[in-house]
Amino acid sequence: MCPTTTQCTTSCQTVAGNSNNTAGSSISALNLPQKIYIDSLSNLYVSDSTNQRVIKFSYGSTTNGQIILGTTGVPGSNLSLLDYPTGLQLDSNGNLLVVDANNHRVIKLFTNGTVTVVAGISGQSSSSLNHLRNPNDLYITADNTLYVSDQNNNRVLRFAPNSTGGDNGIIVASGLNDPRAVYVDTNLNLYVADTNSHVIRQFTRTNATYNVLVAGNTTAGSSTSLLNLPRAVTLDETTTPDTMYIADTGNNRILTWVIGATSGTVFAGTSSPGPCTSLNNPFDVKLDLTKSKVYIADYNNNRVMRSN
Residue 75, SS3 per DSSP = strand
Domains and their CATH numbers in the chain: 12-307 (2.120.10.30)
**How much is the pLDDT for 2?**
57
Q: Is the pLDDT of residue 179 over 60?
A: yes
The CA distance from 186 to 299, in Å, is: 29
* The predicted structure's pLDDT at residue 29: 96
Predicted confidence at residue 135, as pLDDT, reads 99
pLDDT at 270: 73
pLDDT the model gives residue 276? 74
Average pLDDT, the chain: 94
Provide the percentage of residues in the chain whose pLDDT is more than 90. 88
Closest by CA position to 247, among listed 289, 201, 280, 292:
280
Total residues found in the chain within this entry: 308
What's the confidence (pLDDT) of residue 60? 85
Confidence of residue 1 (pLDDT cuts 50, 70, 90): low
Could you tell me if 287 and 234 are in contact, meaning their C-beta atoms sit under 8 angstroms apart?
Answer: yes
* Mean predicted confidence (pLDDT) in 115-141: 98
Distances (CA, A) of 14 to 40, 49, 62, 239, 251: 20, 18, 8, 27, 20
Contact assessment for residue 86 and residue 137, using Cβ atoms and an 8 Å cutoff? yes
Report how far residue 87's alpha carbon sits from residue 108's, in angstroms, rounded to the nearest whole number. Answer: 12
Mean pLDDT for 258-275 is: 82
Q: Are 200 and 235 in contact (CB under 8 A)?
A: no
| Of 193, 239, 238, residue with least CA distance to 34 | 193
Amino acid 275: pLDDT: 54
Q: How many angstroms separate the CA atoms of 31 and 127, rounded? A: 31
